[in-house]
């Protein structure tokens, strides 16, 4: 595969489909540890048991071993570290960034319009997150997250740049629990629907037994 890359330029090649196939293969090997907030049970989840819209050509019935997945991860790392050409590195970083941003789109944005940021309700946020596990897109995004080694790569995604530009026009969110008009929030809890600083986030989300 490496010799092939030297003979192709990313612009003469469907880079999106190329990365899609690599990510799909890596996604098959991913095991997520998911914690149920209510029962507090941790379970291992795989794409094959969750996603219901996996295209047939992904051959979900065929397992992929960890060794093959690692070879693919190494291959992507070689491309992004400019081992081939800078064009290839940038094309692949763009694909990874776009795939991650599709997940953000799925969870927080109104699917009918990318320019409308819709604040989801608690039930909506929870159900959308649970719903997203059932999509192959979610698993592709997780595979991309595993491959991105610098948050700066997100700059390659147009959606990231749009959201960032919008964010920079808004004042920095403050911690709603401190409520002192100056402590900055570091997190937004989609369940409590509050912006919180690191300290308040930890304290307000402790187990009942530890409070
Ligand atoms: Zn606070
Ligand atoms: Zn919360």
Cα-to-centroid distance, 189 and ligand 1 (Å): 13
Cα-to-centroid distance, 164 and ligand 2 (Å): 24
Taking the mean position of all CA atoms in its chain, how far away is CA 56?
A: 23
Cα-to-centroid distance, 190 and ligand 1 (Å): 16
Q: Which domain holds residue 204?
A: 171-211
User: Do 132 and 104 form a contact (C-beta atoms < 8 A)?
Assistant: no
Q: In a structure prediction context, what are the per-residue pLDDT tens digits for the chain, which is 211 residues long?
A: 666 676 677 777 788 889 999 999 999 999 988 877 778 888 888 888 888 888 888 888 888 888 999 999 999 999 999 988 899 999 999 999 999 998 776 666 444 444 444 555 666 666 777 777 888 999 999 999 999 999 999 999 998 898 888 877 777 889 999 999 899 998 888 888 899 999 999 888 877 665 5
Does residue 71 share a domain with residue 21? yes
Query: What is the C-alpha separation between 23 and 7, in angstroms, rounded?
Result: 22
Count of CA atoms in the C-beta half-sphere (13 A) of 190:
14
Cα-to-centroid distance, 183 and ligand 1 (Å): 6
Q: Which residues make Cβ contacts (< 8 Å) with residue 155, sequence separation at least 6?
A: 97, 161
Does residue 152 share a domain with residue 125? yes
- CA-to-CA dists, residue 1 to 46, 76, 81, 84, angstroms: 27, 11, 16, 12
Domain-ending residue, one of 169, 187, 202: 169
Does residue 184 share a domain with residue 164? no
Q: Nearest 5 degrees, angle CA 57-CA 17-CA 155?
A: 135
Cα-to-centroid distance, 194 and ligand 2 (Å): 7
What are residue 187's DSSP bridge partners?
Answer: 196
Q: Which residues have beta carbons under 5 A from ligand 2 (an ion)?
A: 189, 191-192
Does residue 179 share a domain with residue 82? no
């Amino acid at each position: 595969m490496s010799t092939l890359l030297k003979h192709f330029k990313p612009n003469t090649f469907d880079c999106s489909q190329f990365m899609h196939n690599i990510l799909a293969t890596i996604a098959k090997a991913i095991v997520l540890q998911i914690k149920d907030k209510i029962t507090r049970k941790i379970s291992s989840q795989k794409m094959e048991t969750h996603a219901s819209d996996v295209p047939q050509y992904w051959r979900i019935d065929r397992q992929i071993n960890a060794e093959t997945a690692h070879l693919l991860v190494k291959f992507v790392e070689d491309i992004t570290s400019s081992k081939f050409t800078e064009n290839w590195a940038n094309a692949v970083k763009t694909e990874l960034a776009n795939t991650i941003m599709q997940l953000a789109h799925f969870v927080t944005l109104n699917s009918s319009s990318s320019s409308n940021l819709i604040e989801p309700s608690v039930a909506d946020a929870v159900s959308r997150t649970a719903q997203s596990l059932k999509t192959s897109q979610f698993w592709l995004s997780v595979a991309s997250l595993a491959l991105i080694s610098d948050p700066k790569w997100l700059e390659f995604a147009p959606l990231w740049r749009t959201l960032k530009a919008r964010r920079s026009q808004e004042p920095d969110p403050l911690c709603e629990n401190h409520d002192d008009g100056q402590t900055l929030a570091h997190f937004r809890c989609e369940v409590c629907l509050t912006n919180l600083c690191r300290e308040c986030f930890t304290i307000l989300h402790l187990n009942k037994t530890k409070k």
